[in-house]
Amino acid sequence: MTDQPFWQTKSLDEMTNEEWESLCDGCGRCCLNKLEDWETGEIAFTNVACTLLDDQTCRCKDYANRQKKVSDCVQLTPKEARELPWLPPTCAYRLVAEGRNLYWWHPLVSHDPETVHQAGVSVQNKTVPEDGMDAEDYEDHIVYWPGYEYISDK
């Protein structure tokens, strides 16, 4: 028997559903709208939150039904965790896919779901709702989260 945590001994494909779900650190960054430059493929990140993102908890307000309510909600899979360019560089799914360890503030490491907020990694109290906003206005909400590359002419 090993003393290592499951994310160090299993691939994403080998994890149970419970293990998979526990990898989410609760930062909320994946639930923000992104803009893609169609010519270059570069991605700009915004602070415009999905209608279902709770800005306080950084969790989905209706996780079980999110794909029925938000047509472009991405159901993250191990394959996507390895390929999606917009996953945050701190995302546990991305880190495990890359063979890296989780950060000290991840709830599985710290045993405290608040450390992701205390470390300043989450979007807690940093978003604006997409409800009623025109997609053309998203450019006014580009943000510069640590660890990302951005496109912007500003």
In tens, the pLDDT along 6-65 reads: 999 999 999 999 999 999 999 999 999 999 888 998 888 899 999 999 999 999 999 999
Q: pTM score, two decimals?
A: 0.86
Which tokens hold the place of 63? 């996780």
Write out the E strands in 13-109. Answer: 32-36, 43-49, 53-54, 59-60
In tens, the pLDDT along 112-146 reads: 999 999 998 899 999 999 999 998 999 999 998 65
| Secondary structure of 9-38 as H, E, C letters | HCCHHHCCHHHHHHCCCCCCHHHEEEEECC
Please give the DSSP secondary-structure letter assigned to residue 122.
Answer: S
pLDDT at 146: 58
pLDDT at 89: 86
In tens, the pLDDT along 56-111 reads: 999 999 999 999 999 889 999 999 999 998 898 899 999 999 999 999 999 999 99
Where do we find the tokens 């950060």? 103
- Position 153 pLDDT exceeds 50: no
Where do we find the tokens 């003393």? 3
CA distance 98 to 103: 14
Identify residue 31 by its one-letter amino acid code: C
* Under 8 Å between Cβ of 136 and 144: no
pLDDT at 151: 34
